[in-house]
Structure 1
Amino acid sequence: MGVRRTVLTAGCSTAITALLAAGPAFATGAGPAAGNVLTLGGAGGSAVAVGDTLTSSLSPGSTVAIRTTSGGSTGITCTTSSFTATVTANPTAPGTATESLTAHTFGGCTSNIVGTTGVQSITVDNLPANTTVSSSGALVVGAGGSVRTTVKLNTILGVTTCTYSSTGINGTTSNTDNSITFANQLFSKASGPITCPSTSYFSAKYGPVKDTTQSGSPVFVN
C-alpha cells in the first residue's frame, strides 16, 4: 500500500511503489479483528476488494527526508509525495495482503548536499513493485525483489545522475490515522560520481491511505 505502498531511496523516489507498516492493520498494537487483512469502515469492517486502487499523500505537516546518514541532517527534503497501489490479494486475517505499487512520486525537493544546487527529479525505476502488508502491521515495498530509484541533482557543473537500490523498504501501519511510516530505510548507491552520496536513508509518513475505488474510504489493517 506502496510505498502501503511505497518508496524510495535517497532520492529515491522511491519509490516507494508505492508508494507505498504495527497494529492490526493500520493499528499498532491491537489484536487482529475478524474479517480480511484490509478492510473499510473500521477494523474488522468490509473487505477491500481485489483490484481496488489505494492512494495516499504525505500526512499533514510531514515531509520526505532522504539523508546521507541515518538520522542526519544532510541530504534531500521533499514537501510533496504520493503513491498509488492496486490490491492483488486480501485474505482472511490474520494473514498477509499483497499490492502492486504502480506509482510513487516526489516534488518540491531541495538539497543541502555539498556540491549540489538543487534537485531536478527523483524517479522510482522498477514499477510496478510487489508490496506486502501483514496483520502484524508490517509493510514491505519491493518484497521478494528490489526498489531502484534515480535521483538527478543540479550542480554548478551541470546535472548529476545518481541511482540507488534496496532489497526492500519496511514500513509500519497505524489504524489510528490510517497511515504508513517509513523510518531511516537504507538505500545503497548503484551508480553515479562522487557527488552522489554512497548511502541514503528514506523517512516519510503517508496518510490517510484511502481506497479510491470505494469513494476514498480509509483503509484499515487487521
Structure 2
Amino acid sequence: MLYFNKKADLRMNYYIIGDVHGCYHTLKKILNHWNPDDEQLIFVGDYINKGRHSGKVVKYIRELQQKYPDTICIKGNHEYQMVKYIEDETPYKDMKENYSNTLKKYDLKDKQRDDVTWMKRLPLFHENQVIYVSHAGVNFLGVRKFKEDSWWSVLRYRGKLRRMKKLQVIGHTPTLTERPEFTEKFHSLNIDSGAGNFANMSAVLIDANGQLLNTFTEEVDKDDRP
C-alpha cells in the first residue's frame, strides 16, 4: 500500500486538479489558473485513457513534479489497472477498449516502461490538517479503503462517503453538473467534471484552512477528443 501523509504548510493554498484522462491541451489551459509561487499543486488521479494524449499528459505532469517537488500526484483506478495489464502481459484483446486504444500510441510495454513504474508508485491519498485527497473517496464504513482491487477502495468507490472534519476532495465519478460539487452531508468536494466524457476539466483553489476559494472549469479541447 502506498500513501502520502504530510503536515500542511499553512502558508500555502492548494490548487487541486480533477480527472485528466489524456486531455493534454485542456490540462495546459486549466494550469493557466495556477500560481506556483503560492499554491501547492495536487492531482486526484486518472491521467490516462479516453483522451488522445495520455503519453503527453504523463510526461508533462512528471516534468511539473521535477520542477515543483511539492507537487502531489494521487493514483487513480486507470493507473492501477494499466499497471496490472502491463505487468500481467495482458493481450490487447483482453483489455478494456480505452486501455488498448491508449497503448496503440503510448508504448508502456517497452519505450515508456518507466512511466509504468511511476504509476505503480503513486500514493493512494494525501492528507494534512485541513484536506484529505484521494481518487474516489473513503467509503462510509472505512473498510478495505487501501485494498486497491476492491470496489470499496479509494481508487474505485462510488457511494456514501465517510464524513471527516477536514475537507475530502475526490474525483472518479463525473458530476451531473459538469462542475465541481460540494456535498455538505459528507463535507466533500467532487472535482471530476467529466474530462473522461469530453465535457469539462476542473480545478479548485483551497486555502490553508481548508476553505474553498475558487473553482476553474475548462471545456475539453477538440484536439483532446479521439
Instruction: Work out which structure has the larger RCO, using CA pairs closer than 8 Å and 6 or more positions apart in sequence.
Output: 1
Structure number with higher strand proportion:
1
Q: Going by fraction, where is helix more abundant, 1 or 2? A: 2
The answer to whether the superposition gives a TM-score over 0.5 is: no
**TM-score interval, smaller chain:** under 0.3
Give me the TM-score of the superposition, normalised by structure 2: 0.22
